[in-house]
Amino acid sequence: MSTFSQTTERLLRLPEVLQQTAVSKSTWWAGVKDGKFPQPIKLGPRTTTWSSKQINALVKFGLNWKEEIDRG
């Protein structure tokens, strides 16, 4: 029997991302455009998601999230 781990990566939709990061939609998209926030993963023409691993790193480490992801 396997157990669900919190480190399991999920794909998050925008409302979940905004809730976890506590920023507005316009601030989020500006940060994505500037490269400050994780890039989206497009699943279709109207479906955009983000890696939960990257969002968790952003919440935990702030704008240094990329370095923490690279470390493993």
Longest pairwise C-alpha distance within the chain? 43
pTM value is 0.81
Q: 4-36 pLDDT, tens per residue?
A: 545 688 999 999 999 999 999 999 999 999 999
Higher pLDDT, 4 or 38: 38
Give the pLDDT score at 6: 55
Give the helix ranges, DSSP H, for 1-72: 14-21, 25-34, 52-61, 65-71
* pLDDT over threshold 50, residue 1: no
* pLDDT over threshold 80, residue 51: yes
User: Could you tell me if 12 and 55 are in contact, meaning their C-beta atoms sit under 8 angstroms apart?
Assistant: yes
